[in-house]
Each structure stands twice: as C-alpha cells, then as structure tokens.
Amino acid sequence: MVISGDLAFQFGKEDIYEFIRNQLHKFKQQILIMAGNHDSVPLLKTVFKCDSESETELYYSEYIKYDEILFVDTSTNTISNTQLDWIKQKIELNQNRLIIFSHHPVLKSGVNYMDFNHPMKNADDLLSILRNYKNQVYFFCGHFHSDTTTVDKNIIQFLCPSNFYLIDPNANAFQKEQSGAAYRTIEIYSDKIITRVKYL
C-alpha cells in the first residue's frame, strides 16, 4: 500500500500520524509512506520510522516484484536538486521501464484549478530528465484529488484520487465533485502494468 502524501488535513501533527499508523497496523502488507505539502517530514519520519536517502527529506527506492521503484519528496512544492541528482544516478543504472511515485504531478493533468494554482514549481527540471530516458516512464502521483491520465512522449502519468474528496477537473475555481472518494489499484507484471480506479 502506497500512501502518497497529505496524511494531515492542513498541518502534520504527531497525534494524527500516530492514529493513522495504528489504523494501518490492521493491514497485513507493506506500507510505503510519502510526504505531501500538508505534512511534516520530520514527524512522518519519526512516527512511521521511514528510511530515507536524506536526513531532511523523505525519498527512497524499493524493489517491488520486477522493478526498483522511486519514491520522491515534493512536500515543499518542488523537487530538490539533491533528489534530481539521485534520480539521474538511478536512471543510469536502470535500462528497463521506470516507475516513480510522487505527491505532485510532473505533467499538466487536465485538472484546471490545480494545474493553474498548485503545480510542482520546478516540474520542468524533472521533466527534462524523464523525457531523455530511453524507455517508458510510469509516473503515479496524488495532490490533485482526481484520477486523470496524461501521456507525454515516453511518460504516462496516472493521478491517484484522494480518499477524502475529489476535485472537479473541469472547474476553473475550487469545486468538489459530487462523487465521493476513490483509490487506485496497480498490478505490476514483468511485461505490463495494469491500473484501475475504484470509487468508494
């Protein structure tokens, strides 16, 4: 199970994270935690005992089935130069498809309000790396409270919807969708990836 950030509603607090951690203990599977722009990275790392490549950020990789999957930290609404260098190093060692999880999208998503008002500020820095990658890039992200899919050259981006509420992708101002909430399932095989959205 991947939780792609924003565990807190506005600001990360220790008691919130402890409550969520205790609820997640009910699931008999690996839980991968990421930080969103409403989270506190130091508190997340402490409460969930997260491993990270950095003392100040929360990013790492995990071998899952056939792939080394990258989990990046965009909780400051940017992706740091340190992480960009780390991604470049990982890419140099990877000759197959590339799978990345991020809180923020890297491509415009078709969610009008969020694309215009709350994008990753230096998405172009990451895009320039990914577009030069020789193979397919699968990019899974949250933040926009929707479930659109976007393709740009070798990159296919899947928005993972919120299980809190969804945002109307066609509205230019903030507006919730009438439908409730949802989550995305991802099936990883050696020769393909199948992903679906399930509404609650």
Q: In this structure, what CATH number is given to the domain that contains residue 142?
A: 3.60.21.10
- pLDDT attached to residue 65: 86
Statement: the pTM of the whole predicted model exceeds 0.85: yes
- Residue of 131, 128, 142, 155 lying closest to 74 (CA atoms): 142
Count of structural domains within the chain: 1
Q: What is the pLDDT of residues 187-199, one digit of tens each?
A: 999 999 999 999 9
For residue 117, tell me if it sits in a domain: yes
Asked whether the beta carbons of 103 and 123 are under 8 A apart, the reply is: no
- pLDDT attached to residue 177: 85
Residue type, 164: F
30 token code pair:
């690996």
- pLDDT attached to residue 112: 92
For residue 3, tell me if it sits in a domain: no
**Which domain does 158 fall in, by range?**
51-199
For residue 105, tell me if it sits in a domain: yes
Q: What is the mean pLDDT of each run of 10 residues along the chain (200 residues)?
A: 92 93 90 95 95 95 93 97 96 91 96 92 96 95 94 96 89 86 94 94
For residue 155, tell me if it sits in a domain: yes
- Residue of 142, 160, 150 lying closest to 197 (CA atoms): 160
